Amino acid sequence: MLGAPGAGKGTQADIIAAKYEIPHISTGDIFRANLKEGTELGKKAQVYMDRGDLVPDELTVEMLLDRVAKDDCKKGYVLDGFPRNIPQAEVLDKELSAHHDAVDYCINVDVPDENIVTRMSGRRSCPKCGAIYHIVHIKPDKEGICDKCGTALTQREDDREETVRKRLAVYHEQTAPLIDYYEKKGLLRTVDGTRDMKKVTEQIFSILKD
Ligand code: AP5
Ligand code: MG
């Protein structure tokens, strides 16, 4: 899943993963889990995440490659937030092809910058199970409480407006070049992420069928 911060990658990745019964692997979620557990990796990553910068590749790439090598990934998996720059994409391709494997699709969730900042200020997520909501667009049944596990919803530290703007700048500079990278490989499929969540899902499922 490719797209700007807040484009809806995590929301859609969860739905795809549930439908195909494959893992949803978000590098951002892995870093946040480490942060919560107070691991060394979490402490190191936090410095970059709080600033809205990318965590260095030395900390990210091996962690991701270890994760996709696990048994539950044998049937496939949804990557969300990785790769996030050209060097990460190149390492991923190299590693996958060494195992006679490859990326099947790059789903680019397209949302213009002007929609992002307001979207992010309304995001709430579950600190326990990771479910994602929005105070206006995707409300939980009971305000402030996760539908799936009953935990009180929280706001992400990096969703402050200033940090969101920085994350957007980093996206345009380092991540957006991947659009061209996957286009050239014939793997890019762009969906309109400004539409209703269910419509976005429909568009993605119609792509995954072919
Ligand atoms: P990460 O956690 O990946 O954050 P991100 O890419 O900035 O994306 P978000 O998770 O903020 O947004 P999303 O696209 O998942 O949107 P969501 O579905 O939540 O990364 C965080 C940090 O970790 C990075 O800044 C970096 O420091 C580090 N990091 C992670 N991976 C890295 C890597 N590979 N290399 C280096 N560093 C890395 O939706 C957003 C909101 O919109 C929600 O409220 C949702 O309910 C709502 N919404 C969703 N769809 C719709 C819709 N169609 N209409 C209306 N609202 C919608
Ligand atoms: Mg996400």
Q: How much is the pTM?
A: 0.95
Task: Provide the 10 A C-beta neighbour count for residue 58.
Answer: 9
- Entry field: residues in the chain: 210
Q: What is the pLDDT of residue 209?
A: 83
Give the Cα separation of 96 and 192 in Å (integer).
Answer: 29
Residue position matching structure tokens 């499922």: 205
**pLDDT tens digit sequence for 14-57:** 999 999 999 999 999 999 999 999 999 999 999 999 999 999 99
Give the Cα separation of 17 and 142 in Å (integer).
Answer: 25
- Strands (E) located in 81-130: 106-110, 123-125
C-alpha 5 to ligand 2 mean position (Å): 7
Ligand 1 lined by 108 (C-beta under 6 Å) = no
Which residues are registered as beta bridge partners of 131?
Answer: none
Domains of the chain with CATH codes: 9-208 (3.40.50.300)
Of 32, 84, 119, 124, which one is the catalytic site residue? 84
**pLDDT tens digit sequence for 64-113:** 999 999 999 999 999 999 999 999 999 999 999 999 999 999 999 999 99
Cβ atoms of residues 28 and 171 within 8 Å: no
Of 44, 67, 139, 156, which one is the catalytic site residue? 156
For residue 194, give the 3-state DSSP assignment: coil
For a ligand 1 pocket test, name from 118, 123, 148 the mutation site with the most ligand atoms within 8 angstroms of its C-beta: 123
**pLDDT tens digit sequence for 163-182:** 999 999 999 999 999 999 99
Q: What is the mean pLDDT of the chain?
A: 96
Q: What is the pLDDT of residue 160?
A: 87
Give the Cα separation of 84 and 31 in Å (integer).
Answer: 14
